[in-house]
Structure 1
Amino acid sequence: MKIEPFGVEIWMNEYETKCRLNLAETCVESLTIAELLELTGSNTADLSALLPMKMTYGAIEGSERLRNAIAAFYDSQSPQNVIVTHGTIGANMLVHRALVERGDRVVSIVPTYQQHHSIPASIGADVHLLQLQEKDGWLPDLGALRALALPGTKLIALTNPNNPTGALIPREMLLEIAEIARAAGAWVLCDEVYRGTDQEGPGMTVSMADLYEKGISTAGMSKAFSLAGLRLGWVAAPPEVIAEVLIQRDYDTISVGMIDDHFATLALENAGRVLARSRAITRGNLALLAEWIEAEPKLSWVRPRSGTTALVKLDLPMSSREFCTELLRETGVMFTPGSAMGMEGYVRIGYANPPEVLREGLALVSGFLARHGSRISRSQKRAPVSSTASLNWKSGLWRPGPGS
């Protein structure tokens, strides 16, 4: 099976262990096990429950306790509507493989996580992209969606909250998307890995699985729950989808790790506390980021309403990759170039680090913009930086460049 290289993952794999300040990070500042135990009202004595745990395969579909905790995260899902996977990335892969066949019509709303168009394309599906527009606040044009979702469309795929823009599709619009899908007979796959980080109100995005009889929601422990190291996600969907996913899953999963299952259950049973921490971080940091962008004349954006990332437009005579590699070379600060997600002219900034990391990183970027914004011309562009030597790295470590 041939598939397009995964732009964002290639970028992250190449540079995230070599930067000094990772403002490309999309997970809310990760929890330690000690912090998780404290946050959930447990203590280190609870670790003793792991000592007699025999390291065999766990419950194949996920433990009953875990699936109960996941189901409680929704308004109308039961444990029978849930199956546990290796991260949200595994959940998305399984859904696409379970539902999409060669020749099926698939509509993917972009920009998005690349899985949602590259996987169906690799299967041989007839993939149609609906491009979000900045002028629309990065929300989908429903007229354009209706025109693409012809009768017989197999699947409409989207992320909500959106990655990378941070746009949030409200309930009323989700219901309209469901109606468009219903008319076409299509499933709707909604990647909701950032769910729980809304900037206003209680912070919880309504789920597509709860709104539409053919709605499928995927999520996991990485972004909003700050536990990417568990590598645990899930699919919440109608029973017939779960059955098809299980067939696919038997070939690449068997079960998730028992320790992952244990700690994910603990976090989900105390989701209110864990997500309150995440919202405190993302809401405070977005205010810092907004103030900074307001003061930078070369940058503009549509302010995110949820999630952990912002898509920021560059007014500079250089490509997004050139900008990001030069920024890394001089300052050690890492952004994600828009070119890695089909959005040239933009960069994705993650704002879920500790506030002091965000402040330090943004201050360094301001210095970089002040040095380069007025004097870089297209004739002066550097070639894209690709080697560790040209980035002043030695043994995998960032080292200051000129002007740092």
Structure 2
Amino acid sequence: MKIKTFKVEQWMNDYENDAVYNLGETCIDSMTLGELIELSGQNPEKYLAALKDKRMTYSHIYGSPELLNGISGLYRDILPSHVIPAHGAVGANHQVIISMIEPKDNMVSVMPTYQQHYSIPESIGAEVRILQLTPEKRFLPDLDLLRSLVDENTKMITINNPDNPTGSWIPEDVMMEIVEIARSVNAYILSDEVYRGISEDGSYMVSIADLYEKGISVGSMSKIFSLAGLRMGWIASRSQEVIDACRKRRDYDTISCGVLDDLFASLALANKEKIFERNSKILLKNRAILDQWVNETPEVSYIKPVAGTTALVYYKKDMPSYELCIKLLKDKGVLFTPGSCFEMEGCVRIGYAFDSKTLREGLDKFTELLREI
């Protein structure tokens, strides 16, 4: 099976360690284990000392009760039995697509999005139909276009909500229209929701798993929980067909997740409100810094992100995005992600959810480069 190079991951692998100002990072400012344990109200030294007696056997094959209860609590209508832990969201997305899609199928994927959603089904031999998101529609799906793309052989529609890289968020009324389109052809909806959970106003962010009986939500501890090092993700769905198919496949590529990943993810989920309070402050502060910079910099423009941790910023220079990002890294020490990693040009993805000083200085360095070109 041949598969295309994963452009965004290869870019980060090649260049992330060279950055002085890493604005390619998409996780909210990562926590240490000590911070997580303190946040849970426990003494880190005592807690970690007690772990010396933790036996390094397989964890619960389908996830511990604490983990499954914690994940199901992120949804309205998901039970612990509707949850399958995975090795990060990357493992969850792969497991869903490889379990549910066959060469005879077609599927619809939004673009831009995480490359798994179109390159994995292409590698299987399925037909992938692209639903292009545009700034003119604020990077929300064009429902008329979606209706024209589906037919009786459409097995799945995949969305990224909140969207990576644009930071758009599909409102519930639009989501319900997408559900009706999927239902009309009996298609699943796979929603990559790794950036879901922290809204601008603190309200609940509805999931596809809440809205649709054939909805499949993928989440992880990486982005909004600031715990990418745990490599813990999950699949959540009320569809028993999905649960059965993914568990069957899981015996071949997962077996179980790590016992320590499960333990610390359960601890974080039990204290999610404290983590969300911490991370909401970081997000809102830095989103305001990014917005002020865009408004004060005539060389750039964007559709302001309303969710997630990333923004797609357009620049007014006649230079390919890959070339621009290489020059920015070499000349200024700033890492962005080229728009070409998302099959787009004239733009870059900026991650803004870490320390504010790095963000401000990195954006200023980008302004310097744009004015030097």
- TMscore range, shorter length: over 0.9
**Shift, 1:129, TM fit:** 0.4
2:227 corresponds in structure 1 to 227
Instruction: Answer with 1 or 2: which has the greater Rg.
Output: 1
Is it true that 1:26 corresponds to 2:26 in the alignment? Answer: yes
Identify the residue that residue 141 of structure 1 maps to in structure 2. Answer: 142
Equivalents in 1 of 2:185, 2:359: separation in Å? 44
Instruction: Map 1:158-237; keep pairs closer than 5 Å.
Output: 158-198=159-199, 200-237=200-237
Code of the residue aligned with 2:346 in structure 1: it is G
Counterparts of 1:4-403 in structure 2, within 5 Å, are 4-44=4-44, 45-198=46-199, 200-237=200-237, 238-372=239-373
With a CA cutoff of 8 Å and minimum separation of 6, indicate the structure with the bigger relative contact order.
2
- Letter in structure 2 aligned against 1:226: S
Q: Does the 8 Å CA contact 2:101/2:126 hold for their aligned counterparts?
A: yes
SS of residue matched to 1:60: coil
CA contact (8 A) 1:98 1:244 kept: yes
Superposition deviation, residue 203 in structure 1: 4.8
Superposed displacement of residue 47, structure 1? 2.3
User: What does the per-residue CA deviation read over 1:75-130, in whole Å, with 9 as the maximum and x for residues that have no partner?
Assistant: 01011000100000000000001100012010001100000000111111111001
- Greater displacement, 27-36 / 359-368: 359-368
Describe the SS at the equivalent of 1:250: helix
1:374-397 per-position Cα deviation (integer Å, ceiling 9, x unaligned): xxxxxxxxxxxxxxxxxxxxxxxx
Computed over aligned residues only, the root mean square deviation of the Cα atoms, in angstroms, reads 1.0
SS at match of 2:53: coil
Contact 2:317–2:370 (CA under 8 A) maintained in structure 1: no
Helix, strand or coil for the counterpart of 2:157? Answer: strand
Say which is worse superposed, 273-282 or 218-227, in terms of deviation.
273-282
- What runs of 5+ residues in structure 1 fail to find an aligned partner? 373-404
Q: Secondary structure at the match of 1:347?
A: strand
> How many Å separate the matches in 2 of 1:81 and 1:273?
25
Provide the secondary structure at the position in 1 that maps to 2:131: strand
1:103, 1:206 → 2: CA distance? 32
The 8 Å contact of residues 40 and 271 in structure 2, kept in 1 or not, is answered as yes
CA contact (8 A) 2:220 2:233 kept: yes
Letter in 2 for 1:277: R
State the secondary structure of the residue aligned to 1:3.
coil
CA shift at 1:204, angstroms? Answer: 3.7
Q: Distance in 2 between matches of 1:86 and 1:23?
A: 25
Percent identical pairs in the alignment equals 50
Partners of 1:367 and 1:153 lie apart in 2 by 48
- Mapped contact 1:195–1:204 kept (Cα < 8 A): no
**Any idea what SS the aligned residue of 2:198 has?**
coil
Supply the distance in 2 between the matched residues of 1:253 and 1:38 (Cα, whole angstroms): 31
Return 5+ residue gaps in structure 2 as ranges.
none
2:306 aligns to what SS in structure 1?
Answer: coil
DSSP-derived class of the 2:222 partner:
coil
TM-score, normalized by length of structure 2? 0.98
TM-score under structure 1 length normalisation:
0.90
* Amino acid paired to 2:173: E
* In 2: Cα distance, 1:239 partner to 1:53 partner: 34
